[in-house]
Amino acid sequence: MPNFSSWILLALATTVHPLTANPTVLVTLSSVGDRVRSQNPDLAAARLKIEEATGRMSQSGRLANPEFETNLDHNPQAREARFSIGVSQRFPITDRLRLEKDVSQTELKSAQAEFREVERQLVGRAREIVVTVLATYQRKELLREQSRITQEFSDSLSAAAKKGEGSALDAGQAKLEAASLAMEIRQLDAGVISPVGELKTLLGILPAESLSVTGTLPEPTLPTRAVDPTSRPAFQMATLDSTAAEQGVALELAKRYDDVEGGFFTGVERTEDVPVGFQNEAIVGLRLKIALPFWNKNEGAIHEAQAKHLRKQLEVAALSRSIHLAANTAHSEMQEWAAMIREITDTLLPLAAEQAQLAEDAYREAQGQIQFVLRAREKRLQLAAARLDALRSFHLARVRYLTALGTP
């Protein structure tokens, strides 16, 4: 029979298991960026590019390894022999090694900027999905509220029809309207599955985990219109690539002259001097090799490097214009959507609510038709949905604006 401790352990296991078996990840519009930065698997892979560039920088700018030489000559007929050993080293006569180091350091900074650019794109996409999901959830709440009101109206009409004080046809029409709203809610539930699945991938969520997007879309506030391309990681990367290309031109110019090889050798030689006999002699010497730049002056590589540098400069200028255009376009969009939201909120929605109330009062006093009531409510719902669509579009434009500027 289990003892008391066993019962406690069993109770704890049954209590903790539901929490650990299927944990839920909670994200909001403000926190989704941090989750992407810490858990996205593509970012983890992109981060390794920095390690690759670090390795290349560590390897660059180094002298070639010295070479050990040995030589043995033997004449079996005269019993003469010669043996020597030596060490040689290649040295650049230009500043090629320093230039290689400079290029690799610039490429490392470019790899770091490239990582931040990938991070920016993933965070921007995740924020866009969160905005879409939150807008869908708020649209569902709007439909639920409208469905509840329509259902209550339908129930009151049905009760009045049973008492002979109303039309059963009107009650059926209101009931059909409530059912249509319920169907729209189900369509929204189906439509949100795909973006939530993409968001799970971006957030690096495990198969056993579930995702809950919480919060609401805040009211529109326009950010300061200050476009600075230098804060965008893509612009930083393009600028660094241009710098590396410029350094590459200097490097290729330095490669016009091959390395000089210098060496030291020593040895012994046994020779026969008639009539004296065999003699042993020591040998010490220096060796120097210089390549003559007759056939290869690295012209092709120099031309390629110059063309690459020019291309990178043009890419920087083009990207700067693209950033300004994207940011200004997104900011103009935000202004238009914000103005539309204010108009719907301050003018159209109060007018639609008033008309819906008047239509309902007129119907209850037998001075109007049910179609007028339903049409007024439908118009009010359309305006509320239009305001929500405008709010979603505003926040999507805001995400594009901040993403274009490289804002975290």
Q: How far apart are CA 253 and CA 261, in angstroms?
A: 20
Residue 152 is part of which domain span? Answer: 23-60+92-258+293-405
Return the structure tokens found at 140: 């569902």
The mean pLDDT value for 312-336 works out to 94
Among residues 142, 168, 143, 164, the alpha carbon closest in space to that of 154 is found at: 168
pLDDT at position 101 is: 94
Q: Is residue 227 part of a domain?
A: yes
In single-letter form, the type of residue at position 155 comes to D
406 dihedral zone (left: phi>0; alpha: psi -120 to 50; beta): left
Q: Which residue has the tokens 């060796």?
A: 287
The mean pLDDT value for 395-402 works out to 93
Q: Is residue 45 part of a domain?
A: yes
Q: Is residue 272 part of a domain?
A: no
Q: For Cα atoms 142, 148, 152, give the angle at the middle one, nearest 5 degrees.
A: 150
Q: How far apart are CA 204 and CA 47, in angstroms?
A: 15
The mean pLDDT value for 10-34 works out to 63
CA torsion sign for 168, 170, 171, 173 is positive
Q: Name 356's Cβ contacts closer than 8 Å, sequence gap at least 6.
A: 373, 376, 377, 379, 380
pLDDT at position 293 is: 83
348: DSSP letter: I
User: What percent of the chain has a predicted confidence (pLDDT) above 70?
Assistant: 84
3-state secondary structure of 67: strand
Confidence of residue 136 (pLDDT cuts 50, 70, 90): very high
Q: How far apart are CA 377 and CA 379, in angstroms?
A: 5
Q: Is residue 144 part of a domain?
A: yes
Q: Which residue has the tokens 């003699």?
A: 279
3-state secondary structure of 62: coil
Look at the chain and report how many structural domains it folds into: 1
Q: Element (H or E) spanning 74, and its range?
A: strand 67-75
pLDDT in tens, 65-100: 999 999 888 777 767 788 889 999 999 989 999 999
pLDDT at position 184 is: 83
Return the structure tokens found at 206: 């495990």
Q: Is residue 391 part of a domain?
A: yes
CATH number of the domain to which 216 belongs: 1.20.1600.10
pLDDT at 14 over 60: no
Among residues 327, 321, 348, 343, the alpha carbon closest in space to that of 391 is found at: 343
Task: Give me the phi and psi of 67, to 5 degrees please.
Answer: -115, 135
The Cα-based distances of 181 to 138, 187, 344, 369, 389 in angstroms read 14, 10, 22, 21, 18
pLDDT in tens, 350-391: 888 888 777 777 766 766 666 667 677 778 888 888 999 999
Q: Is residue 18 part of a domain?
A: no
167: DSSP letter: -
Return the structure tokens found at 54: 């670090």
**Residue pair 208/21 in contact by the 8 Å Cβ criterion:** yes
pLDDT in tens, 255-299: 998 899 999 989 888 776 666 667 778 889 898 999 888 888 899
pLDDT in tens, 151-208: 766 666 667 666 665 666 666 666 777 777 788 888 888 888 899 889 999 998 887 7
pLDDT at position 135 is: 92
Q: How far apart are CA 148 and CA 156, in angstroms?
A: 12
Q: Name 109's Cβ contacts closer than 8 Å, sequence gap at least 6.
A: 240
Where does residue 59 rank: exposed (0-12), middle (13-18), buried (19+ CB within 10 A)? exposed
3-state secondary structure of 97: helix
Q: How far apart are CA 353 and CA 370, in angstroms?
A: 16
Q: Is residue 267 part of a domain?
A: no
Q: Is residue 166 part of a domain?
A: yes
pLDDT in tens, 33-64: 999 998 898 888 888 999 999 999 999 999 98
